Each structure stands twice: as structure tokens, then as C-alpha cells.
Chains A and B, each alone.
Chain A
């Protein structure tokens, strides 16, 4: 892992188009500003992890279809 020391208002560049700037440094938090091209998605890591876990648990075997459809019909 690359490690940099940056002060307030200093930034790093990732590739040509991504800038990560330190906006504020608090006692136990750092506020970052990120500039990235539109095709690059920027997310808090924990949000991404949550969605990934939700997707992985939503995997279904094709043979589940009948039972799920029946359950949903009954629940309506």
C-alpha cells in the first residue's frame, strides 16, 4: 500500500483524472474531497460491502423459482 502524509488542502492524484484532497482533519475523522471522471464510481467502502453482501445472499438456484413465486403469491 502506498502511504502519503498530506496536510489540509493538499491532495494526491490517482491516474490522470482522480484527485483526492484533504479538506479537514479532525480528532478522529478526516474529510476528503474527491474529483473523479463520471465513469469512476466513488463509494464509502462499507456501503459497497453491504450491497455486495446483499447481492451474494440473493443468488438463487434456478429451481427455486416455483417455490418463491408460490410464496409471494400467498403473501399478497
Chain B
């Protein structure tokens, strides 16, 4: 497949299919989406976009959780590391937490279950830690006041 599945998405000059990240299990709710691209949201760094190139049509906004919360830490289990081919603990990994634009207008971010990508193998997964103190919904911007 050489075309992004999401034909309705605006043309993204920076999409290169050779740089798709493989999520062997998809992510929860999007199990059929095995291949994704991570795009810089041009002009809006550090925001990134995570876009499915197969399976269901899916597009997310994401931020590195370490930029959202100073000292953010997420321990990967050996099994988590093995799944993305990052058995060497020194391998630098790309961390992404999904941004949620809620119906109320509030913008929150999921710090509980981050996505982690190994750039060396281009394998990714969403980590579901058993004991994680970070919230599923960490508010970045409150709902807009009516006069705005």
C-alpha cells in the first residue's frame, strides 16, 4: 500500500510511507491499524500527529509526555521492551501521549497509557501500565469561556 488510507485528510508533504511505524497489535480501539506515521504538526511544534495508514481511519494529536509533565517517568517491562525490539535499555525511544479535544472544548492528554516507539526498529505500542499514577485525563486547557 503506497497511499495513506485516509483519503479525506489534507495532503501531507512529509508523509513518507517508508517511515511507517508498525504496531503489531494496533492500539486499543484501533486494533486493525497496524501501520502509522508520526508527523510533525508543521508550525505547531511540539505537537505531533499520529496517523493510521491502514485499517480504520484514525488520526490523533500527541505530545511527548515528558514535555507536558516535568519528571514524567514510565517504566517499561522487559516484555514491553521486547515487543518493540528495544532490549538495549540505552535505545532512545519516542514517547507520545494522545491529546483529547473534549466535547466541552477542554483539551486533555492521556498520561496513563503513552505510546512508545523505537525509532531503530520502527515498532510501536501503547503501554498499559498496571500501576501507573498518572491520570488518563490530564487537563492542558480548560473549556473555553463563552465570551471567547
Contact = CB atoms under 8 A, between A and B. Distances in A.
Highest count of chain B CB atoms <10 Å: which of A48, A56, A60 = A60
Interface residues of A, number: 29
Contacts of A14: none
Given A64-B101, A69-B47, A55 B128 contact: no
Contacts of A74: 141
Contacts of B82: 38-39
Interface residues of B, number: 39
Contacts of B100: 54, 57-58
B126 A41 contact: no
Given A52-B29, A54-B98, A55-B29, A71 B137 contact: no
Nearest to B148: A74
A38 B78 CA distance: 8
A65 B9 CA distance: 12
B60 A59 contact: yes
Contact of A55 (B27, B44, B130): B27
Contacts of A53: 29
A2 interface: no
Interface of B: 6, 9-10, 25, 27-30, 41, 43-44, 47, 49, 58-61, 78-79, 82-83, 98-102, 107, 110, 112-113, 126, 128, 130, 136-137, 140-142, 144
14 contacts: A39-B79, A47-B128, A55-B110, A57-B102, A58-B60, A58-B110, A60-B60, A60-B99, A62-B6, A62-B10, A65-B41, A65-B49, A72-B47, A75-B107
